[in-house]
C-alpha cells in the first residue's frame, strides 16, 4: 500500500511538473512574460524619449512601443495585464511592450502625465504617442496596434 501511494505521488509530481512541457512560458521576475519588459525612468530616457534633453517629442526607438502604466494594487490593471502579455507574444518582433509600475517609477509616470490607471501609451516609430485609459478589450487594443502603431 505504501509503495502504491509513493508511486502515485511520484507520478503526480512528474505529471504536474511537465504541464507546460509542450508549451513552455518564460516568466520574468515580475511574474509577466519576458516579452513584457519592466521599464525604469533611466531606460525610458534611453530607449523611448529623453524628456530632459528634448522639449519636443523625439522617439528614440526603432520599433513601435506600447507602455503599460500600472500599479500592483489596481484591479483593472490586473485584468488588462494578461491581454497585454498575449499581444506582446502575438506581435513579438514587430512591437516592444514595456510595463511601468507607477509606484516604483513615479517620476516617469508624472513626466508622461499619467493620472489614471491603467494607462496604455501607444508610440509609433513616426508621429505622436496616443494613450488609452482603463481596461479596454483586446479587440480595441489590436485596432490601436494596427491604426496607431501601423503594425499588421
Report pLDDT digits (tens) over 22-35: 333 333 333 445 79
Q: Kindly give the parts of the chain with pLDDT less than 50.
A: 1-32
Residue in 37, 39, 48, 77 annotated catalytic: 77
- Closest C-alpha among 138, 47, 136, 19 to residue 88: 138
pLDDT in tens, 118-129: 999 999 999 999
For residues 94 and 66, is the Cβ–Cβ distance under 8 A?
no
Cell digits of residue 91 = 506581435
Would you state the pLDDT for residue 21? 30
19 is known as an active-site residue: no
Residue in 37, 48, 67, 74 annotated catalytic: 74
C-alpha to C-alpha distance for 149 and 127, rounded to whole angstroms: 9
Would you state the pLDDT for residue 141? 96
Would you state the pLDDT for residue 8? 33
* Structural element, H or E, at residue 101: strand 96-101
> Could you tell me the domains of the chain?
26-147 (3.40.30.10)
Amino acid at each position: 500500500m505504501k509503495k502504491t501511494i509513493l508511486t502515485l505521488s511520484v507520478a503526480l509530481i512528474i505529471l504536474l511538473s511537465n504541464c507546460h512541457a509542450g508549451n513552455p512560458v518564460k516568466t520574468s521576475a515580475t511574474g509577466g512574460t519576458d516579452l513584457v519588459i519592466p521599464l525604469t525612468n533611466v531606460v525610458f530616457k534611453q530607449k523611448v524619449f529623453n524628456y530632459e534633453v528634448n522639449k519636443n517629442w523625439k522617439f528614440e526607438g526603432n520599433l513601435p512601443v506600447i507602455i503599460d502604466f500600472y500599479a500592483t494594487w489596481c484591479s483593472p490593471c490586473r485584468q488588462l495585464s494578461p491581454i497585454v502579455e498575449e499581444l506582446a507574444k502575438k506581435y513579438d518582433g514587430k512591437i516592444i511592450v514595456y510595463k511601468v509600475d507607477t509606484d516604483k517609477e513615479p517620476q516617469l509616470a508624472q513626466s508622461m502625465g499619467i493620472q489614471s490607471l491603467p494607462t496604455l501609451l501607444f508610440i509609433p516609430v513616426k508621429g505622436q504617442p496616443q494613450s488609452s485609459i482603463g481596461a479596454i478589450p483586446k479587440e480595441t487594443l489590436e485596432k490601436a496596434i494596427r491604426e496607431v502603431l501601423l503594425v499588421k
